[in-house]
Amino acid sequence: MLVSAVFAFVVAAAPAPALLLPAQPVGEPIDCNGPVFKSQIYRDDVECREVERRKLSIQDQTVTLRILADDEEDAELPPEYREAAVEAIARAFGIVAGERKLNFHNVSVLPVEVYSQRREAKMSGVTYWRGKSECVIALTVVPASRFAPETNLAMFKFIVAHEAFHCVQSWNWSHQLLLESANWWKEGSADLVAMLAYPGTDAQMKVNLGHADIASAKAVTQMDYGNILFFHWLWAQSPSKVFDLIAAMPRDPANDTIEAQEAALRAFLPGDAPQQYASAYGGAKIFR
């Protein structure tokens, strides 16, 4: 559990609705030293260098996956971390593409802080997105000296797979994702996809343990990462329900409240869902 305490998963709010781009064919990645990229990551001082580029085929789409380095911060991923990032993104995309026809686009992985080992790990990701356009996953990567290299790498892969689903969210449900009150499903569903990509991680442990103390104390709309349990349950019923739930969430910025999220969730779920969920997880509750 100590490991999870040092994780931070954050999805950056999209800058402004005006920057949402219309649907477009997947094209070349944007210039990572240009103004569009810099404004997307809210940083002027990046000195971006492309380290490697891969093509990923998902469903009938081909997207470009770039691994970048920031020479301003001296941040460059070691080769095994580059490989791990590619694997985690491909797995996350593969899992959701196996269940639903979705839109994908290009992804750039930008390390913002990379150190060799310290005693405490510091690994986190932030996803910067602009609607149906290239997604940028910024990563802090500081492995812990007290963990085995495989453990550090496993933490990293989980984070990248989680962030990769934030990209998928932005390409498919950008209006729903814009709302601050959407945090409960943003994080819960991203942890689900990361856990499906890497079973056996900390999130899986939460599911195995029933995460009962958290899940029974709070409604799902009042939690974020704790919602791994709820989304695991929903996915087990049918993966489609996870995508349908996200699509059914509020899209109107004027309606950015937990109450609106909860009302949409009530309308989406069958009437007996709270009872089924409670009996599956020792009294866990869905609604407030």
Least distance in angstroms from the C-beta of 148 to Zn ion: 25
Within 4-33, the residues that bind Zn ion by CB under 5 A are: 9, 11
Least distance in angstroms from the C-beta of 10 to Zn ion: 6
Q: Tokens at residue 141, please? A: 């990567």
Least distance in angstroms from the C-beta of 13 to Zn ion: 12
Within 244-273, the residues that bind Zn ion by CB under 5 A are: none
Q: Which stretch binds Zn ion (CB under 5 A): 45-53, 104-112, 150-158, 181-189?
A: 181-189
Neighbours of 41 (CB within 10 A): 19
Instruction: Assign 187 to helix, strand or coil.
Output: helix
User: Which residue type sits at 1?
Assistant: M
- For the chain, the C-alpha Rg in angstroms (whole number) is 19
* Euclidean distance between CA atoms 24 and 75, whole angstroms: 31
Q: Which residue is nearest to Zn ion (CB)?
A: 9
For Zn ion, which is the closer residue by CB, 76 or 166? 166
Distance of CA 220 to the CA centre of its chain: 17
190 makes contact with Zn ion (CB under 5 A): yes
Task: Give every CB contact of residue 258 below 8 A, 6+ residues apart in sequence.
Answer: 181, 221, 222
Least distance in angstroms from the C-beta of 26 to Zn ion: 23
The interface mask with Zn ion, positions 50-89, x = CB under 5 A, is ----------------------------------------
45 — phi, psi (to 5°)?
-95, 10
Instruction: Assign 112 to helix, strand or coil.
Output: strand
Least distance in angstroms from the C-beta of 213 to Zn ion: 22
110 makes contact with Zn ion (CB under 5 A): no
Query: DSSP assignment, residue 13?
Result: P
Given the rule CB under 5 A, which residues bind Zn ion? Answer: 9, 11, 187, 190
